[in-house]
Amino acid sequence: MTSEPDWLTWARALQTLAQTGLTFAKDRFDVERYEKVREIAAAMMAAGADQPVPRLLGLFQKDIGYATPKAVVRGAVFRDDGILLVRELTDGRWSLPGGWADVNHSPAENLVREIQEESGFTARVIKLAAAWDRRRHGHFPPHPHHVYLLFFLCELTGGAARPGLETSDVDFFAEDALPELSIARVTEAQIRRMFEHRRRPELPADFD
């Protein structure tokens, strides 16, 4: 079961159909039809999210090629009994360091860079702890794209606390003293699961 509204699932499915159709369509009439489907998807999503249609249509038009999910990487870095969290500038709440995976870098390479840029600490990725479908884990608000979340356990190797361009504070928190979280990025249940993976390194990776 997903935690997102039906209208978002339907609109995303239409957008996926349109994007993939536009990638392979040869007939100009088919192209026109798929463009219309994309416009309908943008209108549905705009109505449900109370956003302007041109903004969402522009977002869809940037995606070309066969439609696939996007990937986000997050790192669970521990020191003593605390987990590393960063305060996000966008909403003032806390999250595991990480973000969108960049092209031409492995998941681990992306994550090591994100941790250093957002927190000032250096780390080594040691284990894939979870591969989750964002729709199924209570994140809010819903996202227009289909997103996979890759959570890794990491080992602290050096550095010092230093906020980055997208963060305003850096700290370590005990499992029973978590701050207000940026639910768009990470949930309390996910962080608690990272503590469990640290306590039980023999656990296999979680997945949806």
Q: Are residues 25 and 125 in the same domain?
A: no
Q: Which has the higher per-residue pLDDT, 62 or 122?
A: 122
136 DSSP assignment: G
Give the Cα-Cα-Cα angle 201, 204, 207 (nearest 5 degrees).
Answer: 130
Q: Output the pTM of the full model.
A: 0.84
In the chain, alpha helices (H): 6-24, 28-49, 53-61, 107-119, 188-199
List the domain range (segments joined by +) for residue 47: 6-61
Is 37 in the same domain as 83?
Answer: no
- What's residue 4's pLDDT? 81
Same-domain status, 147 and 46 = no
Q: Check whether 1 has a pLDDT greater than 80.
A: no
What is the chain's mean pLDDT, rounded? 94
Each residue's pLDDT tens digit, 85-144? 999 999 999 999 999 999 899 999 999 999 999 999 999 999 999 999 999 999 998 888
Domain boundary among 34, 61, 88: 61
Residue 1 lies in a domain: no
Q: Mark which of 61, 82, 105 sits at the end of a domain.
A: 61
Q: Is the pLDDT of residue 56 over 90?
A: no
First to last CA, the chain: 10
CA-wise closest residue to 3 among 178, 189, 206? 189
CATH number at residue 177: 3.90.79.10
